[in-house]
Chain A
Amino acid sequence: MSRESLLSYTLTARYGDAVVLRGVSGTLARGEIAALVGLSGSGKSTMALALQRLLQYRGGVAEGSIVLEGTELMGLSGRGMRVVRGRRIGYVPQSPGLALNPKVRVRTLLQETWRAHEDRRMEPGFAENVLGRVQLPGDREFLDRHAGELSTGQGQRLLIALAILHGPSLLIADEPTSALDAITQAAVLRLFADLNRESGTAILFISHDLLSVAGIAHRVDILHEGTVVESGPPTKIFGEPEHPFTRALVEAMPRRP
């Protein structure tokens, strides 16, 4: 399976003296779903932020190279980077309770996200359509709700809707299912797979949960102590894990009683 390259990166990241990513490098092809799996504290969220050059807002520093569709993002100005964020890279953060501003209405969140990259007004029905794609109601009552009034599942779907609003070529999802119950989790995972199939959006799916991502990822990267120790299709990761850490991870997976 050879596809056109979308993203390639080499990243080193640190907070003060603590180095979190040690020259992690990887690539992502157009339309590919890659899962980045590691334990908590292995630098997964750092990676998600560093790829969007947002790490400085968390007090971190990232160095290296991020090439997206032929553009070196590390060389872009703040303004240039703002145009990339939301339009070419969509970001689905974890825990909607924190990532959605509780005092802002759903309608306003959609409008502001739209306005960030478009001068013309949102077409009528557009918001309803996007909400429909993530299986949220698009009626007036829902649009008028404040984000603080949504359930966790609805919030997570709304975060996905905001991330895909401008049809980005890359979606970075950071533990998008970790706050959800098992059934909602499965539904959201299916949603990502559908989005990928329908619009060809490449997804970098970051998770601690090997089992949940295995079903939708084309490739799994195992992140351990700041580097990718093993990479391959899910069947290989599960069938013949090579690195001791990967083996430990696979063995630790829950089994049917």
Chain B
Amino acid sequence: MWKRLALIFLLLVGTSALLSPVIAPFSYSEQFRDSANAPPGGKFLLGTDDMGRDRLSRLLYATAVSAVLAPAAAALSVLLALLACAFPGLVVGGLTTICLSIPWIFLFIILRAELPLNTDPSISVLLTFALMGVAGWAGPARVFSGSIREMMESGWMLQARSAGIAGWRIGLVYAWPHLRSVALAQFRVLAPVYILAEASLGLLGLGVAEPMPSWGNLLRDLQHPDMVRQNPAILAPLLLLMLCLLAIEAVAVKTHEKEVFR
């Protein structure tokens, strides 16, 4: 029941995000200078921000950016980590150590500095999440190489070798069922982390660039408690973020249980 509810909710959020150009009352960058910081109601269902932009429209577009790109970046990290594990354990160990010790925040600052000021916002969005996805491979790679090491010592690995089965088939057919649940868990950890990371980058002016909205830069308004008191609808992106994460978790956990107790 919960799983179905969560699925329906996610579908609803997904379609409304994808349809945002159609269903959003306004464009995300359209400014209504006479009604900045308008309270919810009337023409603006969730009110407007300090620049007079409709909060509902911005939330819809932001969902399209964050709810799609952050999981995509998480998937990229997990995929890169899996690919890295095809290399010998020692190489992966060394590379992850180096990669984990790089202060990535500076790379984001450099990226932002190197991009021309007139770069299309959608390009900068893609680059931000792509960099996040690439930078994040080392964590999951650590976890994967740990479970691969365990598998290497397992009796079934030896049995498969004794049957003359080629290494890549062992990886694909024997090891993947074990790695799959690890990969899914990694994805579930990383997707919300990336949503929040983009929000933190946004605080430094490094995330998704204005005027394009993301959950991250919408959350920046939470810095002003007085504004939140005036218009509680500012909390909407936070609420949506939490509900989405809960829904994802509900779907993932139920699916996992099914797999374990089948």
Contact = CB atoms under 8 A, between A and B. Distances in A.
Nearest to B176: A103
B158 A86 contact: no
Interface string B130-172: 0000000000000000000000101111111111111001000
A54 B163 CA distance: 11
A98 B164 contact: no
Interface stretch (A30-38, A87-95, A127-135): A87-95
Q: Interface on chain B toward A: helix, strand, loop, or mixed SS?
A: helix
B173 to A, nearest CB: 5
Contact of A100 (B152, B156, B164, B177): B156
Contacts of A116: 163-166, 169
Contact of A82 (B157, B158, B164, B178): B164
A17 B159 CA distance: 26
Contact of B166 (A82, A104, A108): A82
A86 B159 CA distance: 10
Given A98-B154, A112-B169, A115-B169, A103 B162 contact: no
Nearest to B180: A103
Contacts of B178: 103
Interface residues of B, number: 19
Interface in A70-122: 82-87, 89, 91, 93, 95, 98-104, 108, 112-113, 115-117
Contacts of A83: 164
A103 B166 CA distance: 19
A93 B159 contact: yes
A235 B138 CA distance: 62
Interface string B110-143: 0000000000000000000000000000000000
B167 to A, nearest CB: 9
A85 B163 CA distance: 5
Contacts of A89: 162
A99 B166 contact: no
A52 interface: yes
A112 B173 contact: yes
B174 interface: yes
Interface string B31-50: 00000000000000000000
Interface string B177-207: 1100000000000000000000000000000
29 contacts: A49-B158, A54-B158, A54-B161, A54-B162, A57-B152, A57-B157, A85-B161, A85-B164, A86-B163, A86-B165, A87-B164, A91-B159, A93-B155, A93-B159, A95-B155, A99-B155, A100-B156, A100-B159, A101-B174, A102-B156, A103-B178, A112-B160, A112-B163, A112-B173, A112-B174, A113-B163, A115-B169, A116-B165, A163-B163
Interface of B: 152, 154-166, 169, 173-174, 177-178
The 10 A-B residue pairs with the shortest CB-CB distance in the complex, in nearest-first order: A86-B164, A98-B155, A103-B177, A91-B162, A101-B156, A85-B164, A86-B163, A99-B155, A99-B159, A116-B165
Given A57-B158, A57-B161, A116-B166, 11 more contacts: A54-B162, A83-B164, A93-B155, A93-B158, A101-B154, A101-B159, A101-B177, A103-B177, A104-B174, A113-B163, A116-B164
